[in-house]
Structures are given as structure tokens and as C-alpha cells.
Structure 1
Amino acid sequence: MSEATVPFPLMQWIADHAEEFVPPVSNRVIWPDSDITFMIIRGPNARNDFHVNPTDEIFYQLRGTIRVDVRDDEGVHQRLVHEGDVMLVPAGTPHAPLRPADTWGLVLEVPRPPDALDRMQWYCPACDHLLHEVTFDLADIETELAAALDRVNADEELRTCERCGTVLPVPGPFELDA
């Protein structure tokens, strides 16, 4: 019988593996060989990007409250996702999941279609100009998002706005304002 057909003690797994979650993204995929990416994410994270997934993402907040900033033609909208809430982020929507300490979430994703690429975008905090964008064929979500964040945060030139000269700060652990 397959291990996947046996009930899984998720909260016990989280407790047993809590120390393995490290910023900037703090994510772990439970079943790497599944057709569905079932990912647990721990706060705090340290992100200053917007992720653009070519497929839908579903956020389910297990513990605590997080903020997901969503970009559209009208600007950036801050969405609070409270414990027990779910949120659909449609394919192609730039979003920034911001997780304070001691929060736990579940994110569900489906495999990317062939030739579908993920994007990460960084914007000027002063004038909202696009500072930098990376496009990639995502193979390992546990390592590739963090690697892209590390590369951009290590390069002040990539974080400097050509329009107004503002430098996007390197983020520290996210804290949700009261």
C-alpha cells in the first residue's frame, strides 16, 4: 500500500521539522513526487519581491495571520489572511506573501505546463518602477525562489531605481503592523 493512502499527521510533522524552515522563504514540500505541490511555509519570511506563478495558488492559513500583497492595474492591495482563511491567487497575479514569526501556512500549486515560466519582480518603494525581473523554469521551489532573492538582495545595483535613485532595502524578517 502506498504511503500516500495513509492519513498523515500534518501538525506533528510540522512540530518535528520546525527548525528546518529558514528564511528568506521558509518552505518545505511534503510530497515532492506528487502531481500537486503541497507545501508548508513558516514565518517569518524576508521577501521584497512579487512572485508571478503561471498557475493558480491556494493559500490556507494554519496558524496566525499573514499579509499577501497583490498587484493589479489599479496598484497594490494588501490582503490579510487570518488563521483558518483560504485565498486563491489566480495564475499570472503578482503577489508578495509576507509572513510574520510563528505563522504556519499551507500552499497548494499544480505543476507548471510545459514552457510556462515563473517570474519574480522587484519594484521601487518610492515610485513603483519595476527595478528587476527574473524569469525561470521552476524545478525546485524549496531552493530557487530563495536563490533568486539572495542574488538580488546581494546586488545593490539591481535594487537601485533608474528613475528616482531610491534603493530597495534588503528585507529583514517580516512583522505585521498591529
Structure 2
Amino acid sequence: MRDRLDVVNVIQWALDSAATGTKPVMHHELLWNDGLMVALFDGPSPPGRSDFHINTSPELFHQVRGELISRVREEDGKFRDILIREGEMFLIPARTPHLNIRAEGSIGLVVHRTRAAGVTEAIVWYCEQCGHELYREEYVHEDVQRQLPALIDAFHHHEERRTCAQCGTVKPGTR
């Protein structure tokens, strides 16, 4: 993490990130965490990514380069894809299930509140056939680059977690 008075060159960060080669599932850099968590994310998202996140605070997305599709689950249970283009901003309200799909070469800046100690958030999967919740795992937000890949792998390795209790559809076990 950077000093709170550091200046960040976002484009250079993206170039350096692209040069690293293979990226982890939750590739980002947390720049500051001083009341606000400010992070840079780059694309692409892993193919077949399907885990939704439910955060306790709103999240502000600013798409610096390229495009981002934010798939949200609305209060009525319907899914909607929202396209955020280069230069645009988007605010996801707290507790809104969302899945961000980042394009190759994209760069996004994300800002949200620092989590209070012990506050839980969730990662959730939904049935692609009927929209029913397949599996939910709650976790205390500490280090998502470490935490979420383990939760995602556990989901994909357990068929019972991937099987819809409502319609019986089994989600494929690969990302």
C-alpha cells in the first residue's frame, strides 16, 4: 500500500501490470485504505467468471480505459448488464449483488469505504437457468486477493454447491 500522500500514474500502473504476465483471479492493487479503499483493477476478467459480490458499502467505479460490464441482480431478482465505458462512472449501492466483467486492456478505479472490523460480506453464485441462489459464502473482508480465489476454487470443486435446489441444473465446475 502506498503512503497517503503518494501520487499514482494510472497508465504506468496498467503498463507495469500488463508486463507481469499471468494475473491472479482477483488482480488489483489497493492504493490507499484510510477511511476509503481506493484500488485499481485491470482486465481481462478470467473467462467464465460467475461469482457475484455483495458488499456492505456502496462502490464507485470510474472506468479509466476500456469497458466494464457490471452484471447486477436487482431487487426483483432479475439480472441486468450495465455497460460502463471509458471515462464513465457508476455507483453500485450497498448490498447489491454484482459481477464485474472487465475487457482486455481495461483499467478501472474503484472507491469504497474501509470495512469496519468484523463486518461480513458475501460471494454468491446464481443458477444460470432459473436465477435461484446456488451458494453463498460470507467472509470478513481482509485480503480479497488471498481470500476470494480460495472461496471460488472451493465452489468449483463441490458439485453440491453448484447444483440448483430449485431446478436441478448443475453449473459447470470450471471457471
TM-score, normalization: structure 2? 0.86
Aligned to 1:37, the other structure's residue is in SS state strand
Aligned amino acid, residue 48 of structure 1:
S
Higher strand share: 2
Q: Are the aligned partners of 1:23 and 1:44 in contact in 2 as well (CA < 8 Å)?
A: no
In terms of mean alpha carbon deviation, does 160-169 or 45-54 score higher?
A: 160-169
Aligned amino acid, residue 23 of structure 2:
V
Q: How many residues align?
A: 170
What is aligned with 1:71?
A: 73
Q: 1:81-128, CA deviations, whole angstroms, 9 ceiling, x for partnerless residues?
A: 101111001111111111122211111111123442111111110011
Q: Which runs of 4+ in 1 moved over 6 A?
A: none
What is aligned with 1:95?
A: 98
| Unmatched runs of 5 consecutive residues or more in structure 1 | 173-178
What is aligned with 2:135?
A: 132
Q: 1:1-31, CA deviations, whole angstroms, 9 ceiling, x for partnerless residues?
A: x943243322212222332772423222123
Q: Distance in 1 between matches of 2:3 and 2:116?
A: 27
Q: Distance in 2 between matches of 1:61 and 1:167?
A: 34
Identical-residue share of aligned pairs (%): 32
Aligned amino acid, residue 156 of structure 2:
N
Please provide the CA RMSD for this pair. 2.1
Aligned amino acid, residue 71 of structure 2:
D
What is aligned with 1:16?
A: 16
In terms of mean alpha carbon deviation, does 116-125 or 158-167 score higher?
A: 158-167
Match of 1:52 among 51, 54, 64: 54
